[in-house]
A and B are shown apart, each in its own frame.
Chain A
Amino acid sequence: NAGVTQTPKFQVLKTGQSMTLQCAQDMNHNSMYWYRQDPGMGLRLIYYSASEGTTDKGEVPNGYNVSRLNKREFSLRLESAAPSQTSVYFCASSGQGGIVKNSPLHFGNGTRLTVT
């Protein structure tokens, strides 16, 4: 049982380059999330998808786009990377069977991104 799988684990980009972070979950969860973690800031929500076919902005969406490809997969794209996007990115999912209230978040192992 893999849970939430994120790829890649590490990435170095130059300013202006683009990349897509991939996330997949095998727990039949409805909701999926992308967070970034910066020192002293805690986890901040970039985008979320409440259910397949929907996506919404979180606290810090600027510079990012997302795609909920199907129920399992939720990708995060940086179109033109900037040094301010250097961070650790976590994908998470929750809400098996649509019961979100009592369902914890399950996190992937994170992607450490450096933009030079």
Chain B
Amino acid sequence: ILNVEQSPQSLHVQEGDSTNFTCSFPSSNFYALHWYRWETAKSPEALFVMTLNGDEKKKGRISATLNTKEGYSYLYIKGSQPEDSATYLCAFHGGTYKYIFGTGTRLKVLA
């Protein structure tokens, strides 16, 4: 059974703080790693699709890195804002059509 783990489960940060989360996934049969942002009462929205070892992606204040050899990805948020409050999901794609999701990191940014 493939296991995708995210840490921490939840965290609270002050507005303006920078923060990061971890997604751990199997290091074999790697195809792609996705990051999604999921706001309460909405549906998940894609942030990044990462496919190559050493990939770095950036969208505004949010960036992500990928290490496929050791099986982890980091998501960074620089200068957190209240509107960044959401659950951040990662999903592992192992070459089949099945995306395996982690349980997410719930971020609350306090004004």
Write the residues of chain A forming the contact surface with B, with a CB cutoff of 8 angstroms.
Answer: 31, 33, 35, 40-45, 48, 50, 56, 58-59, 90, 100-110
Contact = CB atoms under 8 A, between A and B. Distances in A.
Given A41-B103, A42-B103, A42-B104, A105 B44 contact: yes
Contact of A101 (B31, B46, B101): B31
B59 interface: no
A23 B36 CA distance: 21
Contacts of A58: 98
A107 B97 contact: no
Interface string B92-111: 01000111111110000000
Contact of B43 (A41, A44, A110): A110
Contact of B97 (A48, A59, A90, A102): A48
B97 A101 contact: no
Most-contacted residue by chain A among B42, B51, B97, B104 (CB, 10 A): B97
**Which applies to chain B's interface (DSSP): helix, strand, loop or mixed?**
strand
Interface of B: 31-32, 34, 36, 42-46, 49, 51, 89, 91, 93, 97-104
Given A101-B51, A102-B32, 8 more contacts: A42-B102, A43-B44, A43-B89, A44-B101, A90-B43, A104-B46, A105-B46, A108-B43
5 contacts: A31-B97, A40-B103, A45-B99, A90-B43, A107-B45
A107 B103 CA distance: 17
A102 B48 CA distance: 10
Given A42-B102, A43-B89, A56 B44 contact: no
Nearest to B46: A104
A93 B46 CA distance: 12
Contacts of B93: 101
A48 B96 CA distance: 11
A34 to B, nearest CB: 12
Most-contacted residue by chain A among B42, B44, B45 (CB, 10 A): B44
A18 B106 CA distance: 34
Contact of A109 (B34, B42, B89): B42
